[in-house]
């Protein structure tokens, strides 16, 4: 059974920018079916907006981005969030990531901005960097 994970947008971008590092390793595990992304419509729309803005830096075309998002959606576990606890976090744009993790029952969300998720523990969700998540789950190899 694949491990389930909510990925903050910055992890997806970091993994696409460099083939080195824990973010890319997480994307490899997604592609291999060892990790299953937990998604919501707002999160996928954020992925799309950010990737489109950074298309040139990432060396991707609009078609590449569409294909990537299609693949993520096919691999992903989809959730609808029926409740909002805003404001809870320092950055309002991170609220939907936390709410998705809570709705999906994920014990962790993966982000490069762990400090922005201070307080997520109140909802039973720990914020971990990609490297820390890989180590904690035993997926580091």
Residue 10 sits at the vertex; the CA angle it makes with 71 and 75, to the nearest 5 degrees, is 20
Count up the domains in the chain and report the number: 1
Range of the domain at 49: 3-137
Residue 101: name the closest of 37, 7, 6 by CA: 6
pLDDT surpassing 70 at residue 85: no
**pLDDT digit string, tens, across residues 102-128:** 999 999 999 999 999 998 899 999 999
- Identify the pLDDT of residue 134: 95
* Cβ partners under 8 Å of residue 38, min gap 6: 4, 5, 6, 76, 77, 79, 100, 101, 104, 106
What is the average pLDDT across 1-26? 94
Residue 69: name the closest of 134, 136, 16 by CA: 16
**pLDDT digit string, tens, across residues 48-72:** 999 999 999 999 999 999 999 999 9
Stated pTM of the model: 0.92
What is the average pLDDT across 132-138? 92
What is the domain-level CATH number for residue 106? 3.40.50.1010
């Amino acid at each position: 059974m694949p491990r389930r994970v909510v990925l903050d947008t910055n992890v997806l971008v970091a993994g696409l920018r460099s083939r080195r590092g824990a973010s890319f390793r997480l994307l490899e595990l997604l592609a291999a079916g060892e990790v299953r992304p937990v998604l919501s419509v707002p999160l996928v729309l954020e992925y799309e907006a950010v990737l489109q803005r950074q298309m040139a830096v990432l060396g991707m075309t609009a078609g590449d981005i569409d294909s990537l998002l299609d693949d993520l959606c096919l691999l992903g576990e989809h959730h609808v969030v029926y409740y909002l606890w805003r404001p809870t976090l320092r950055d309002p744009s991170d609220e939907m990531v936390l709410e998705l993790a809570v709705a999906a029952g994920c014990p962790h969300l993966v982000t490069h901005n762990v400090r922005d998720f201070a307080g997520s523990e109140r909802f039973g969700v720990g914020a971990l960097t990609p490297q820390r998540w890989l180590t904690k789950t035993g997926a580091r190899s």
